Structure 1
Amino acid sequence: MEYDYVIVGAGSAGCVLANRLSADPEVSVALVEAGGQDDKLEIRMPAGFAKLFKTDYDWNFTTAKQGEMAGRELYWPRGRVVGGSSSLNAQMWVRGCQQDYDQWEIPGWSYEDVLPYFTKAERRIGSNHGGVYGSAGPLFISELRSPNVTTAAFLKACEELGFERLAELNGRSNEGYSPTPVTQDRGRRWSAADGYLRPALKRPNLTLITEANVDRVVFDGTRATGVEHSGGAVLRARREVILSAGAIGSPYLLLRSGVGAADELRDAGVPIVHDLPEVGKNLQDHLSSGVFVTCKQPVTLTKAESIGNLLRYIVLRSGMLTTNVGEAVAFLRTSPEEPAPDIELIFAPGPFIDHGLTPPTGHGLTVGVVLLQPESRGRIGLNGREVLIDPRYLAKEGDVKRLVAGLKVAKQVFATAAMKPWAGGPMAPYDAPESDEELELWVRDQSKTLYHPAGSCRMGTDADSVVDPSLRVRGVEGLRVVDVSIMPTLNRGHTHAPAVMIGEKAAELIAKTPS
């Protein structure tokens, strides 16, 4: 039960680390995952991801009541399975833009610094204008096999509104519109576990431990020496413990282990190992609102689960069940003062209501509106010994204004000539708000997470940051955090791609550290 490296969390970054670190036959690696194996059909079948929500494959988190959102508690799904959230997500591979990484202003983490790690991960299948993507990496990045007919209409609507068509979405600038690149291989989800972990498990020096919930990091003084997981078993780490448990799990484990704000630890009855006040702070998430309309023709995903579609998927790996739901995107600036896009539109050729948990009553279409650069900051904390999630959505007025502006653009999309054959009237719960006041009320009453929490173990060069630019936790030894919790600010994209990039870069940093 002793290894050179113990990695907590078999999600996007953890799978990358397990593969890259175990490539050295001289070291031993343990990867510990709270969930079980990723062998369910709904994981493999792209359109099935919503069926995994609120099941044993999901942490099924709930936020604290949000004062600026009608006092609502919001549901946050996160993957509790091998592959982590890359086994539950909508497979959208969206890196963000150059500004996202340059604005961190951290040596070694500029756009030029991180770009090679994106391309190292990618195996682009399909178009690759300008060589934007890598072509030999572990992760298949493909085009949708069977996009819906209404998705082409959405793209035509974007053209009609004067937006720029992107030759490839994941270049230096993402301002414009594009079909969504997806992590799929011939119509099948291709998670971080598929690309990185499964090939590496053939190595004798890599051990995967599933259904083992880690309770805390074990310290000898201020040096991390291992982790204790459910049942009281301790896995010892000769070199390092690496937390890749995500923007909720990693800060929570630090706090449970005595690394965090001293007052908070005392209140929770946790012995203090190191007073590090910023642990759990700086929490950010992409908040999403949307416009829902009926579809005039019965062509949407509402009937995707028919026997015919299921057989077509199983036999041919094509048809509606290969959809990732978010089939096209547009990244826009709501004002010329924005340095880069601040709003994302996501088109779904179906009524994606209540995270897909509410069965649609008919054919409908969705344009989701995503706030890309929230000003509001929340925290991960301890509620006794349990986790507290308080994103403090819409605490800053600018966040509300940007979402209202984005909803106005989404309404314009459905008013175009391109969408006229398809888009009908409003579809419940959407009630077609018109004024800024009505739109703001819609934002507060109905917005939901887009599943991108980040920032809660902020990386920085300052003494207040949780991890340094090598991702080592400040004030202790033998402990790093490697996941999107280290991001100082969110990217103008989605978080799976940066999680993989962070894993790739961290693996090199760790491998270069003297033993």
Structure 2
Amino acid sequence: MEYDYVIVGAGSAGCVLANRLSADSGVSVALVEAGGQDDKLEIRMPAGFSKLFKTDYDWNYSTAKQAELSGRELYWPRGRVIGGSSSLNAQMWVRGHRRDYDQWGIPGWTYDDVLPYFTRAEHRVGSNQGGVYGTSGPQVISELRSPNVTTAAFLQACQELGYQRLPELNGASNEGYSPTPVTQNRGRRWSAADAYLRPALKRPNLTVITGATVDRVVFDGTRAIGIEHGGGAQVRARREVILSAGAIGSPYLLMRSGVGAADELRDAGVEIVHELPEVGKNLQDHLSSGVFVECRQPVTLVKAESIVQLFRYLVLRSGMLTTNVGEAVAFIRTSQEEPAPDIELIYAPGPFIDHGLTPPTGHGLTVGVILLQPESRGRVGLNGRDVVIDPAYLSKEADVKRMVAGLKAAKQVFATKAMKQWAGPPMAPYSNPESDEELAQWVRDRAETLYHPVGTCRMGTDADSVVDPSLKVRGVEGLRVVDVSIMPTLNRGHTHAPAIMIGEKASDLIAKGGVA
């Protein structure tokens, strides 16, 4: 089994690469995925994503105990299926802010450099004021078909609080509030597999291998020549091996293959191919807290699982089951000293508690609070063959202060006239903390991931970076990393859109650069 390109991981970036590289009929491409097919109803049904958590479609990771989060181990879902996390996510298409890409300081990766790759990917259906979105790409982006009645009240509350209404969320600045653009096509999830992989499957030069958990990259000296899976089976690469396994999988595979910090590799019993100490470092994630209140009227997503709603979805592709849960957002600065938004407020017209795994006890409303630019840095490491995930949440005091300020802003939303008709008293487990100390403790006791890990194969121009600006792994040949692990810092948005952009840009880099 030998191909020109072997791509590891059929997630957002991997699906893009499989499509774009196989468009050249003169090359052969293999896409290797640990999971199986994305044919489950809950993948297609937008509101069903939490039903996929802790199933065979999920890597079901847990972090190390977090000292600043009351010693808790946090659950981290990641997609283990065709489409990767784009088959499990909340379908929010949020590029971020111009500053996010300019602050990287990397030639070829400024906002103006990457913008054409966002628009090349996008197929905007519906509003497109100012031509912000692309309209001819494969990734369908639409408005929600059946937004909840309380979502309009949230948007009115944002106006009441003096926030700016955004004509389109994904312009150069995202400071303000907006309904959420979603990766849906006629009320159905439109994953990276739908957008990119399925249209390419008919090509004879593209092979998709599922159910194949990759154990390591195979090297000849310091040149990557393929991958090994299933305890010994190999897939060889004539030109390049491309890791698109995400912010956990890509550094893990580099380390398991002998590329990483020498001491850590020796401790794990891995033979060193090339010492690259920064592999797995620089881990960042969006930490999420929130305010929960009871809803005064029985109109929330608690009713989504009724027979009526199932009929509406299956027959009309409308109703509550088309929701992405996070129906509207506001990106705000908690102080004038912030150069751009530091907190995101996500509105859910239902009680989204414990990743949706805890059944609601009644009708409730949620304003989530997301720390957009964490100063804390963690790591992905090895413990023998096992992966260690330590995001080191709140290890920087500035992160705590911003989260507290964000919770205060969320409380203000529910105190507005616009929300008076809907927002009732606090809903368990939320206890309505008031002081800064109480709010900080609420974060420590209950905060969770927003599913956006990045940074563990940091791109840079410096010798310490894991990949260079063409995404080649430093010190070895024939190996690149193409996924959000290459992002030096998090975006003030969500990570699915940048993952697609990175895949689009990488496909050009590979086509123009030939052999890595």
Same-fold call, TM > 0.5? yes
AA matched with 2:503? G
The residue that corresponds to 1:56 in the other structure is: 56
**Distance (whole Å) between structure 2 residues aligned to residue 62 and residue 443 of structure 1:** 18
Distance in 2 (CA, whole Å) between partners of 1:104 and 1:231 is: 39
Cα shift readout 1:403-456 (whole Å, capped 9, x = no counterpart) = 000000000000000000000000010000000000000011100000000000
**Equivalent residue number for residue 112 of structure 1:** 112
In structure 1, what is the equivalent of residue 250 of structure 2? Answer: 250
Instruction: Give the match for residue 376 of structure 1.
Output: 376
Equivalence for 1:238? 238
Tell me, what secondary structure is at the counterpart of 1:366?
A: strand
Paired residue for 1:481?
481
The SS at the match of 2:419 is coil
Q: Give the gaps of 5 or more residues in structure 1.
A: none
Say whether residues 1:4 and 2:17 are aligned partners: no
Q: Deviation at 1:37?
A: 0.1
Task: Show the counterpart of 2:41.
Answer: 41
SS of equivalent to 1:236 = strand
User: Deviations along 1:322-341, whole A, 9 cap, x unmatched?
Assistant: 00000000000011111100
Q: Which runs of 5+ in 2 are unaligned?
A: none
Match of residue 225 from structure 1: 225
d(CA) in 2 for partners of 1:424, 1:358: 20
Counterpart AA for 2:236? R
Q: Which residue number corresponds to residue 401 of structure 2?
A: 401
> Deviations 1:102-159 (Å, cap 9, x if unpaired)?
0000000000000000000000000000000000000100000000000000000000
Counterpart of 1:181 in structure 2: which amino acid? P
Alpha-carbon distance in structure 1 between the residues aligned to 2:308 and 2:296? 22
Once residues 238 and 429 of structure 1 are traced to their aligned partners in structure 2, the CA distance between those partners, rounded to angstroms, is: 55
Partner of 1:320: 320
On the 8 A contact 2:247/2:457 being kept in 1, the answer is: yes
Asked if the contact 2:16/2:504 (under 8 Å) is kept, the reply is: yes
| Structure-1 residue corresponding to 2:261 | 261
Match of 2:338 in 1: 338
Following the alignment from structure 1 to structure 2, what is the Cα–Cα distance between the partners of residues 202 and 123?
Answer: 22
- Do residues 278 (structure 1) and 311 (structure 2) align? no
- Separation in 2, partners of 1:462, 1:132: 33
Residues 416-435 of structure 1: pairs in structure 2 closer than 5 A: 416-435=416-435
Structure 2 residue aligned with 1:288: 288
Residues in 2 aligned to 1:353 and 1:304: alpha-carbon distance in whole angstroms: 16
1:351 matched residue in structure 2 = 351
Q: Which residue of 2 aligns with 1:497?
A: 497
1:231 Cα offset (Å): 3.7
Partner of 1:388: 388
1:383 positional shift: 1.1
Q: What is the rounded CA distance, in whole Å, between the counterparts of 1:65 and 1:54 in structure 2? A: 19
Alpha-carbon offset, residue 242 of structure 1: 0.1
| Offset of residue 385 of structure 1 | 1.4
1:232 Cα deviation from its structure 2 partner: 1.2
Give the deviation of 1:384 after TM superposition: 1.5
CA contact 2:349–2:364 (8 Å) conserved in 1 = yes
Q: Distance in 1 between matches of 2:111 and 2:421?
A: 42
SS of residue paired to 1:227: strand
- Distance across 2 between alignment mates of 1:6 and 1:252: 17
Shift of 1:169: 0.1
Letter in 1 for 2:447: S
Equivalent residue letter for 2:84: G
| CA distance in structure 2 between the partners assigned to 1:43 and 1:28 by the alignment | 29
What residue in structure 1 maps to residue 436 of structure 2?
A: 436
CA change 1:231–1:271 in 2 (3 A) is: closer
Provide the rounded CA distance (Å) in 2 between the counterparts of 1:29 and 1:64: 36
Q: Show the counterpart of 1:305.
A: 305
Q: Point out 4+ residue stretches in structure 1 off by more than 4 angstroms.
A: none
Q: Which residue of 2 aligns with 1:181?
A: 181
- 2:215–2:231 CA contact under 8 A, matched in 1: no
d(CA) in 2 for partners of 1:50, 1:264: 35
> Equivalents in 2 of 1:207, 1:349: separation in Å?
42
| Aligned mates of 1:50, 1:468 — CA distance in 2 | 36
Once the two structures are TM-superposed, the CA of residue 514 in structure 1 deviates from its matched residue by 2.8
**Offset, 1:230:** 1.1
Confirm or deny: 8 A CA contact 2:124 2:134 kept in the other structure: yes
The residue aligned with 1:71 is 71
Residue 281 of structure 2 aligns to a residue whose secondary structure is: coil
> CA contact under 8 A between 2:64 and 2:390: conserved in structure 1?
yes
Tell me the secondary structure at the aligned position of residue 419 of structure 1: helix
Distance 1:444 1:499 in 2: 29
Aligned AA (2:153): A
Partner Cα separation in structure 2 for residue 338 and residue 431 of structure 1: 29
1:29 aligns with 2:33: no
- Which residue of 2 is the match for residue 134 of structure 1? 134
Report how many aligned residue pairs link the two structures.
515
1:307-362, Cα deviation, whole Å (9 max, x unpaired): 11001100000000000000000000011111100000000000000000000000
Q: Secondary structure at the match of 1:424?
A: strand
Q: What is the RMSD computed on CA atoms of the aligned residues? A: 0.4
TM-score between both structures, scaled by the size of structure 2? 1.00
Q: Give the Cα separation in 2 of the matches to 1:239 and 1:260.
A: 22
Q: Deviations over 1:466-503 (max 9, x none)?
A: 00000000000000000000000000000000000000
2:93 corresponding residue in structure 1: 93
Q: How far apart are residue 44 of structure 1 and its match? A: 0.1
1:209 match: 209
Structure 1: distance between partners of 2:492 and 2:99: 9
Tell me the TM-score normalized by structure 1. 1.00
Percent identity reads 84
Partner amino acid for 1:7? I
Report the residue type matching 1:368 in the other structure: G
